[in-house]
C-alpha cells in the first residue's frame, strides 16, 4: 500500500477563507504597528480593534493561573494597557515574525502581575495562637538565640 504524500503550503483557492482572514489580520496589525513605530499614537486604537480578543485571552489566562479575579472593567483596562505597551515597542517588532501579542506575551503577563501586586492569604487566628504557644520565653543571652535557630 502506497502512502500518499501531503504537501504543506497555502490552501488552494476556494478552500475556505481562513487564509484570507489571517492575511487581513496580519496586514491590519502590520499597518497599525508601522504607524505606531512612526509616532502615530492614534494607531493604538486600530491595533486595539484587531488585537483585543487575543490580548484578552492572554490576560485572562494569566489571571486564572495566579488565581486573580478581576471585574470585566479591570480586564478591559489591562487589555488597553497591553495594547498601548505593544505600541511602545512597535519599532522592535518584526512583521514577518509572530504577532505582537505572541511576541510580547511576557510583557502582557507582567502587566497582570503589576495589577495583582503583592498578595498573600491572611493567617487565621488559630495559626497565630499556635505560633505564639511555640515561641520560647525571653532569652537574655544572644548566643542562645542563635543556637536555637
pLDDT 10s digits, 95-115: 999 999 999 999 999 999 998
C-alpha cell at 48: 486595539
Contact in structure between 43 and 91 (CB atoms under 8 Å): no
| SS3 category, 67 | coil
State the chain's mean pLDDT as an integer: 83
pLDDT > 70 in the chain, percent: 72
Neighbours of 66 (CB within 10 A): 11
Q: What is the mean pLDDT of residues 42-70?
A: 95
* Radius of gyration for the alpha carbons in the chain, expressed in angstroms and rounded: 26
Contact partners, residue 50, CB within 8 Å, separation at least 6: 25, 28, 29, 32
C-alpha cell at 120: 498573600
Does residue 138 carry a pLDDT above 90?
Answer: no
Q: What is the mean pLDDT of residues 74-94?
A: 95
DSSP state of 5: P
More confident residue, 116 or 106: 106
Q: What is the pLDDT of residue 147?
A: 76
C-alpha dist (Å) from residue 11 to 7, 18, 20, 95, 96: 10, 9, 10, 21, 19
pLDDT 10s digits, 16-40: 556 789 999 999 999 999 999 999 9
Q: What is the pLDDT of residue 8?
A: 36
Sorting pLDDT into bands at 50, 70 and 90, what band is 87? very high
Among 7-16, 29-38, 57-66, 129-138, the least confident range: 7-16
Size of the chain, expressed as the number of residues it contains: 149
Chain centroid to Cα 21, Å, comes to 24
Amino acid at each position: 500500500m502506497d502512502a500518499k504524500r501531503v504537501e504543506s503550503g497555502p490552501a488552494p483557492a476556494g478552500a475556505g477563507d481562513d487564509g484570507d482572514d489571517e492575511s487581513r489580520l496580519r496586514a491590519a496589525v502590520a499597518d497599525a504597528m508601522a504607524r505606531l513605530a512612526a509616532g502615530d499614537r492614534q494607531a493604538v486604537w486600530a491595533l486595539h480593534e484587531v488585537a483585543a480578543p487575543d490580548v484578552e485571552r492572554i490576560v485572562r489566562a494569566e489571571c486564572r493561573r495566579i488565581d486573580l479575579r478581576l471585574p470585566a472593567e479591570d480586564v478591559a483596562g489591562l487589555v488597553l494597557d497591553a495594547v498601548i505597551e505593544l505600541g511602545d515597542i512597535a519599532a522592535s517588532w518584526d512583521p514577518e515574525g509572530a504577532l505582537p501579542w505572541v511576541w510580547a506575551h511576557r510583557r502582557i503577563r507582567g502587566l497582570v502581575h503589576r495589577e495583582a501586586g503583592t498578595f498573600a492569604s491572611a493567617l487565621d487566628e488559630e495559626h497565630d495562637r499556635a505560633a505564639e504557644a511555640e515561641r520560647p520565653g525571653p532569652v537574655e543571652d544572644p548566643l542562645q538565640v542563635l543556637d536555637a535557630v
